[in-house]
């Protein structure tokens, strides 16, 4: 049975989907004020492996992901570059989709931009105002977390620290992993000279980042998610806010499982422009690596642990993959489609793969155990039927990993 670490409760739990019909998964998409770097793609690849493994296990999976194309940082970046917000974000969306294709990631079934759900955001805000969990202040709308009884449970926030005096936080996002102990913004007021600005049933303005996921979810989904995922930084503020908003207007839990992927760091340090250590997929391609080698490095480290990128660690993971592929080519040379398939070795490979992946998606353990079996099988002694069976099992597993074989 698949067991996953649920951030809500901070424990490993046996996976049971919220619905027998389909496993609905929602994951935070890219904030397209900038290009996605390999740290961003690490999270998206963890989610890709998760979805593919659920499908490997026989589940029908439907995945939603938003694109944040309206937020303070995007507006500021467009002004800095002297381009329109649309020009900035559309270019970065195109780059993101190209990265998904290169890294062999599944495209989401639901993939809207936040700018396409503004009316939905206004509808939600109106309901929150009617329920008196949100309020107007100087043209903006704020959410009062103290009006939501379960606030802080996802992160494990000590609510005794909450200040007695009301505080408001006006920005979409704040740097770092700190908590803003106060009311968070849902709606930015604007006048005709400010862009972007929408005319909605609650007046002129634009939705904050905090309301954008709920507006998309409210539009496309009307039942709990089996899994809600994102990067570890979303566990501070963002997912807590999203949960509070939706569960304030819907009479059921938003998601059964909350999963979070840890950061990728570079040479032991956080990636940042000031340090000049941000890497993009194309940087590694220019160094002569192929996309599957990049994908392998980013999925090989366990998703709940920091992954350290260095020239040495990357080269080491590439060597592991190349050595394994060489062994696979040896298996391929002995396989005979006309031979009767022998399942003994293939069965062992499938069992080792599943036992590791069922342990909170232990990709490293799964790969290492499979590699050890194949290395110990003495490929030159394999009968054609055993080689064919092993090759079939490896192709099934590679539907999850997408790194063993050179396929589109």
**CATH classification at residue 219:** 3.40.50.620
Question: How far apart are alpha carbons 12 and 274 in whole angstroms?
Answer: 37
End position of a domain, from candidates 207, 238, 265? 265
Q: Is 381 part of any domain?
A: yes
pLDDT greater than 80 at residue 66: yes
End position of a domain, from candidates 230, 265, 300? 265
218 and 352 housed in the same domain: no
Q: Is 181 part of any domain?
A: yes
Q: Tell me the average pLDDT of the chain.
A: 95
142 and 30 housed in the same domain: yes
Q: Which domain holds residue 253?
A: 13-265
How far is the CA of 257 from the CAs of 226, 294, 325, in angstroms?
6, 28, 35
- pLDDT for res 377: 79
Q: Is 293 part of any domain?
A: no
Q: Name the DSSP letter for residue 280.
A: -
Q: Is 306 part of any domain?
A: no
Q: How many structural domains are present in the chain?
A: 2
Residue 355 belongs to domain with CATH number:
1.20.120.640
325 and 257 housed in the same domain: no
Query: How many CB atoms are located within 10 Å of the residue 348 CB?
Result: 16
Question: How far apart are alpha carbons 260 and 229 in whole angstroms?
Answer: 6
pLDDT greater than 80 at residue 185: yes
- pLDDT for res 407: 65
222 and 315 housed in the same domain: no
Predicted confidence band of residue 408 (pLDDT cuts 50, 70, 90): low
pLDDT above 70 as % of the chain:
99
- pLDDT for res 406: 79
What is the residue-wise DSSP string for 174-231? -SSS----SEEEEEEE--TTSSS-EEETTEEEEE-HHHHHHHHHHHH--S-EEEEEEE
Per mean pLDDT, which of 93-107, 192-206, 329-343 is the most reliable?
A: 93-107
pLDDT greater than 80 at residue 193: no
124 and 225 housed in the same domain: yes
254 and 356 housed in the same domain: no
213 and 315 housed in the same domain: no
163 and 44 housed in the same domain: yes
pLDDT greater than 90 at residue 28: yes
Q: Is 102 part of any domain?
A: yes
């Amino acid at each position: 049975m698949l067991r996953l670490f649920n951030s809500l409760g901070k424990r490993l739990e046996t996976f049971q989907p919220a619905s027998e019909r389909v496993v609905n998964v929602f994951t935070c998409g890219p904030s397209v004020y900038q290009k996605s770097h390999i740290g961003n793609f690490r999270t998206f690849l963890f989610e890709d492996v998760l979805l593919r493994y659920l499908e490997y296990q026989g589940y029908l999976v439907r995945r939603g992901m938003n694109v944040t194309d309206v937020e303070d940082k995007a507006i500021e970046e467009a002004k800095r570059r002297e381009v329109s917000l649309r020009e900035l974000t559309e270019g970065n969306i195109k780059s993101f989709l190209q990265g998904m294709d290169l890294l062999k990631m599944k495209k989401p079934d639901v993939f809207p931009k936040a700018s396409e759900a503004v009316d939905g955001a206004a509808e939600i805000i109106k309901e929150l105002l009617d329920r008196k969990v949100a309020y107007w202040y100087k043209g903006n709308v704020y959410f009062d977390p103290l009006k939501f009884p379960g606030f802080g449970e996802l992160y494990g926030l000590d609510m005794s620290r909450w200040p007695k005096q009301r505080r408001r936080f006006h920005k979409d996002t704040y740097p770092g992993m700190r908590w803003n102990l106060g009311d968070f913004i849902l709606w930015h007021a604007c006048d005709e000279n400010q862009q972007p600005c929408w005319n909605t049933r609650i007046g002129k303005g634009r939705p904050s980042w905090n309301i954008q996921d709920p507006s998309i979810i409210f539009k496309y989904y009307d039942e709990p998610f089996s899994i809600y995922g994102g990067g570890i930084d979303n566990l501070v503020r963002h997912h807590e806010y999203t949960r509070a908003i939706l569960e304030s207007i819907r009479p059921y839990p938003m998601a059964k499982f909350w999963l979070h992927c840890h950061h990728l760091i570079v040479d032991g340090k956080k990636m940042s422009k000031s340090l000049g250590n941000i890497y993009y997929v194309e940087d590694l391609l220019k160094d002569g690596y192929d996309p599957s080698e990049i994908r392998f490095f980013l999925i090989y480290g366990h998703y709940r642990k920091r992954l350290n990128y260095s020239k040495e660690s990357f080269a080491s993971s590439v060597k592991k993959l190349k050595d394994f592929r060489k062994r696979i080519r040896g298996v391929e040379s002995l396989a005979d489609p006309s031979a009767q398939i022998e399942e003994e070795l293939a069965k062992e490979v499938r069992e080792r793969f599943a036992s590791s992946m069922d342990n909170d998606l232990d990709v490293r353990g799964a790969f290492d155990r499979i590699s050890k079996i194949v290395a110990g099988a003495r490929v030159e002694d394999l009968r054609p039927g055993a080689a064919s069976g092993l090759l079939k099992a490896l192709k099934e597993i590679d539907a999850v990993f997408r790194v063993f074989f050179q396929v589109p």
